Amino acid sequence: MLFSDEFRGRGVVRTLIVLPLMISPVVAGLIWRFMYNTDRGMVNYLLYLIGIDKVDWLGQQASAMPAVMVADIWQWTPFVALILMAAIQALPDEPFEAALIDGASKWQMFRYLTLPMIRPALMVSILIRTMDSFKIFDLIYVLTLGGPGVSTQVLGLYTYKWGFKFFQMGYASALSYLMIFMMVIIANIIVFVMRRRTD
């Protein structure tokens, strides 16, 4: 909503917001690996400035998966923002002008006008991100290799290990089909919910 409004330097801000999307997942993983470094990483340095002890982000089971999730969200949030920004800018002006004349607040216009009208775009972005999360591999491979232990091991990495590390191609193929089957089921559920909400 903020980036859809007119303000000075909007083009520059939008470009900066989209930059993480232009970086390959391997490079993004390397960037976050340096940032999460226990001794010289920027994240622990910022925590040190506010008096918090350093954390081994990628070496502890409790913090490894949240650290990977933050890196993934940082890279792919601009994609969702672009979809929603396009949906917001395509909205007609008439309902908002009528609501403004009737005395509706900005929150009421967002809740009762903007959000229902951009719901299809929101559901499409959720669908795409859900499918992306199923096939995530490179970011986790660079950051943690599925560790510590198996705390960040996802289905894609598990399939890779069985296929190309243990050379059990039959089992890896079965896992691949299972992953596709799960993605199809979840995608159909999201589409069903989306159609039900928009009808």
Give mean pLDDT, residues 31-40. 93
Fold assignment, 10-198: MetI-like fold (1.10.3720)
Question: Could you give the residue ranges of the DSSP H alpha helices within 23-114?
Answer: 25-35, 42-49, 61-89, 94-101, 106-109
- For residue 197, pLDDT beyond 80: no
Give mean pLDDT, residues 77-98. 91
Helices 61-89 and 25-35, axial angle in degrees (round to 10): 130
State pLDDT tens for residues 9-35: 878 888 888 889 889 999 999 999 999
Residue 45's pLDDT is 94
Give the DSSP per-residue string, 124-136.
HHHHHHHHHHHT-
